[in-house]
Every structure is written in C-alpha cells, then in structure tokens.
Amino acid sequence: MSSNIDMKRVVELEDKCLKIRKDLLNFIYRIGMGHLGGELSIVEVCVALYYEYMNWDSKDVKMKDRDRFILSKGHCSETLYTIFQDMGLYTIDYMVEHFETLDTAQFGMHSNRKYVPAIEVSAGSLGHGLPIAVGEALGARYKKAPWRTIVMVGDGEFDEGTNWEALMAGGHHQLGNLVAILDKNSVQMTGPTKEVMNIEPVKEKVEAFGWNCIEIEDGNDMLQVLEALDKIPTCDPVKRQKPTFIISNTVKGKGVDFMENNYKWHGGGIAKEQLDEALADVEKNRMVR
C-alpha cells in the first residue's frame, strides 16, 4: 500500500502535525483550559483528513458536497480550531480574544457550529456524533450526494449506548458513505479505559454489527494513517455496502513526555514551565524518517 503514498507528502504532513502541536500547546496555555491528552492524540488523523483526504476547502467551509467531519469527542475541539487558524481562518490572538468571553465569545471548550462555521455539529455531550453521522449519511443517500460523512469517536465515550444503537443502524442501512474513526488512546478521564469500562474486543464487536473494520497499529504515524484512509472503499451514495470503522490506536498526550498515557492530562490548563518543556518535547519526539 505504501507504494502509492508520496513520502515527501508524508514528511510535509508530519511537519504540519508538529506545527499544530506547538500552536495547540500555546493556545491552551493562553486560554488556560483544554483537554490536551485527547487533543494531542488526534492530531495525525485530523491533519490527514483536513490537509489531505477530505474534499474540504477552508475558503468555502459550507461548500456543496463537501465531506462532513463530525468530532463526537467535542471536548477536543481546540485541535480543530488550531487547524482552522493554521489554514488562515483565524489567528491564535483572535481565538484567545474570543474564547469563552460571554457575549463576545466565538470559541468554547465545546464547539458550536453557529459560532464557528467550519464546525459541522455542535458537540460536547458524549455519544452523540455517531447517530448524527448516520443521519448525515442517510441524507446523502437520499439526495444522491457524493459526500462522505466521517465521524471521530473517543474510546472513553464509546461506553455510551447511543454508539451501539448507531452502529446497528449504520450496518442495517448499509451506509457505505459513512466512516467512523475510533481514537483509541486507551485512557479516559479517571484511568485506563480497560479498567474504567473495557470496550474490547472492539474489532470483533463492530464487525458483528455489520461494519468493515480497518485497524491502524499506530494512529500517530502519518504514513500508517494515510495507508488506512487509502483502504476506505470508493464513496457511492446509493450503493448499499458496509460502512467503514477505523480503529486508530493512539497515545493520549502524544508528543509530550509528561502527558503521555497519563489520565491526569485529560483536562486542564498548562503552566509556563510546563509549556516550555512540552514544546521542547514535541520537537524532540517528532518522527524521523
């Protein structure tokens, strides 16, 4: 598979991930709150989607027939804001000036689609993204529209029963234009996922619900992420076929040594000394090809 992928592009996207991580850390430092653990684990997949895979244009975020990306784990919206500012929609200064500032606020810990038009769905309450994505995919089928609906779900929120209702519906309606990506960083708010509420065996479960499953061994490896996205079947709005479920095994707090796999970095702010250390870490830990 890797033969189809331009390694020069992989390195470019890895550079982009490094920049997003640095911008994100600076942004979270300035606003004083965030969910850095999960926001850092999803960087590679989000960068691959927005900069490479999706039919999506930052200059026309409501473009007809654009691919729809729904971030179900809405508490990680700062990663998307950071990508949007990198694409030129905002500056970090502007986002800081309008972050949860009452009636002048545009950005919040959980994103609002009315305030940030590039956001497809106002999220925050967990377990909502996958059902909404089922509806968007059904809508595309009814309209015979070519867009793909891609939803990212956290492995903590995967406890919510609505995910399983939606998995059943996606398989039942054979929504081949639907892709769910599980950001499996294996740590949730109060500890390891397998100790809080074990979701395994995920692959067998989702396959039993009628989905085609692709597993990324390291979802923080850009090459592996691109290879997985390449395996998604061609999108045909009308054809009834299995929806795609991607298990992306990632590291919570990826790139920052003192955050990695540490549930205590699920949410919160970051101090100046920690910021300096974190910025040095992400530089040091970037993948070398």
Pick the stretch among 34-42, 161-169, 199-207, 264-272 that binds other proteins (CB under 8 A).
161-169
Residue (16 or 141) nearer to other proteins, CB: 141
Q: Do 87 and 16 form a contact (C-beta atoms < 8 A)?
A: no
Pick the stretch among 4-12, 43-51, 125-133, 246-254 that binds other proteins (CB under 8 A).
125-133
How many distinct helices (H) and strands (E) make up the chain? Answer: 11, 7
Least distance between other proteins and beta carbon 67 (Å):
12
Selected from 161, 272, 273, 288, the binder of other proteins by CB under 8 A is: 161
Pick the stretch among 46-54, 108-116, 217-225, 259-267 that binds other proteins (CB under 8 A).
108-116
Collect all residues with Cβ–Cβ distance below 8 Å to 270 and sequence separation of at least 6. Answer: 25, 28, 29, 34, 36, 278
Is 114 an interacting residue with respect to other proteins (CB under 8 A)? yes
Is 168 an interacting residue with respect to other proteins (CB under 8 A)? yes
Least distance between other proteins and beta carbon 219 (Å):
25
Is 113 an interacting residue with respect to other proteins (CB under 8 A)? yes
Is 243 an interacting residue with respect to other proteins (CB under 8 A)? no
Cα–Cα distance measured from residue 186 to residue 189, given in angstroms and rounded to the nearest whole number: 10
Query: Residue 188: left if φ>0, alpha if ψ -120 to 50, beta else—which one?
Result: beta
Number of residues that bind other proteins (CB under 8 A): 34
Q: Find the angle CA(144)-CA(115)-CA(148) to the nearest 5 degrees.
A: 20
Least distance between other proteins and beta carbon 111 (Å):
11
At 217, the amino acid letter reads E
Q: Strands 212-216 and 244-249: what pairing?
A: parallel
Length of the chain: 289
Interacting residue ranges for other proteins, rule: CB under 8 A? 68, 112-114, 120-125, 128, 130-140, 142-143, 145, 149, 161-162, 165-166, 168-169, 172-173
